[in-house]
Amino acid sequence: MSTNRAPLLDNTLRLALEGYGWLPNRRRRAGSDVVHARLMGQPAVGLCGPEAARFFYDEKHIHRHGAIPEPAQATLFGHRAVHTLDGEIHRHRKAMFVSLLTPEGIAGLVDRTIREWDETAGSWTPRQRVELFAETSQVLTRAVCAWVGVPLDGHDVPALASDLVALVDGFATLGPRHWRARLARKRREDWLSRLVEDVRRGELAVEEGSVIDVVAGYREADGRLLDARVAAVELLNVIRPTVAVCWFVTFAAHALHRWPDVRDRLRGRATGYPEAFVHEVRRFYPFAPFVGGRAVKDLSWQGEPITAGSIVLLDLYGQNHSPHLWPDPYAFRPERFLDREIGQFDLVPQGGGDPRTGHRCPGETATVALLGALTPRLAAFDHDVPDQDLTISLTRIPARVASGFVFAVGQHSPSHAQPVPLP
């Protein structure tokens, strides 16, 4: 049994300094997949691996209620969001998201995104410099708002996209990024709660069955309509993660630039390769460092005690880079996903388990579909990459390409390029 438990020193500052490496570093030093720490003055236990993920996502062991720190609720998720619920209340509200993110619904979102992307790319001129991160965030903002049914003036897109990016960019810091995110959340919850009230009063006509129509009319298990503010929170929990796909699109461009042979294979669209590329981008590049919950009761894992009420952390980044699961884990190899069945608790960039009932992100399928449609377009796009800072700091959460990935449009204007068919 390990003696690495009940540390007296708080690790909050160490987490801020080490970022994605904090939990993997602790596990490496301890020589164990279970490590004890103290965060924000509270005992915490870090776990890693598919069986640990299975343990973590069992509601008899871990609850989310009371586990998400207030700074993350005030930026990333929103107060009283589905992420903060457990049990039947969670499953009932989660079913609303699942009903929206059907294969047909996701296909509609992908179709809108492709139209927005092709129109935007068609407006670029040869030698024009484009920052992919910012441009993609705006493409996704226009697409998802149209799909949700939220009326949006084109002039409002840059400010809205900036706010939606800020919600993700500021959740894991207490510096200026965090305060920008808090202000952005208040602005966007105010805006969407007014729209929800307009829909309920019949003052805003929306398409029946659209996302905003479903969320505005959603009733909790006890029959009550969602508070308009909570409805706005849940609308943002559809819109915000869709726009966050700009992180993965930029990582994909980084991979295509760094490993040109991968770009050539993606252009060829060999059977299964685009999806394998998408999964490898999500595995290889840093997104969420870990997820957390609280122990429902006194527990033990691999002989290590976990006291009731302790913070329990599942190391997502560490698991996605575990040599036990992924041979040569720091090599970028999409082929590792060819003909490989991915278990619910293996690849966990957006959590593990069953998204229909558990806390795994229900939008993960949409993320994969969007990337599957956009990355072949990136691979086929004629462009040059000028000198810039393409570093990705693992001490910054969430990590991102420092420059935003700037490219210069090639001589073959995108407006005259052959369209890339949808997969």
DSSP string spanning 157-187?
Answer: HHHHHHHHHHHHHTTT-SSHHHHHHHHHHHH
Distance, C-alpha 231 to centroid of its chain: 20
- Are 148 and 239 in contact, with CB atoms under 8 Å apart? yes
Is 5 within the bounds of a domain? no
DSSP codes, 30-67 = HTSSEEEEEETTEEEEEE-SHHHHHHHT-TTTEE-TTT
End-to-end CA distance of the chain: give it in Å, rounded. 50
Is 422 within the bounds of a domain? no
Q: Is there a cis peptide before residue 7, judged by omega within 30 degrees of 0? A: no
Is 7 within the bounds of a domain? no
Is 6 within the bounds of a domain? no
- Are 364 and 350 in contact, with CB atoms under 8 Å apart? yes
Is 126 within the bounds of a domain? yes
- List of E strands, 227-382: 290-295, 299-301, 304-306, 311-315
pLDDT at 332: 97
pLDDT at 264: 85
Task: Give the closest residue to 127 by CA, choosing from 394, 383, 387.
Answer: 383
Helix (DSSP H) and strand (DSSP E) numbers for the chain: 16, 10
Is 421 within the bounds of a domain? no
Is 335 within the bounds of a domain? yes
- Are 87 and 214 in contact, with CB atoms under 8 Å apart? no
Query: What is the domain-level CATH number for residue 275?
Result: 1.10.630.10
Is 165 within the bounds of a domain? yes
The rounded average pLDDT for each run of 10 residues, N- to C-terminus, in the chain (423 residues) is 59 92 94 91 93 93 84 91 84 90 95 97 95 98 98 95 97 92 97 98 96 96 94 96 97 96 82 92 96 94 93 96 95 93 89 65 86 94 95 97 96 48 37
Domain count, the chain: 1
pLDDT at 86: 80
Task: Give the closest residue to 105 by CA, choosing from 147, 138, 67, 76.
Answer: 147
Strand 42-47, strand 62-63: pairing: unpaired
Predicted TM-score of the model (pTM): 0.92
Domain holding 58, by residue range, is 12-416
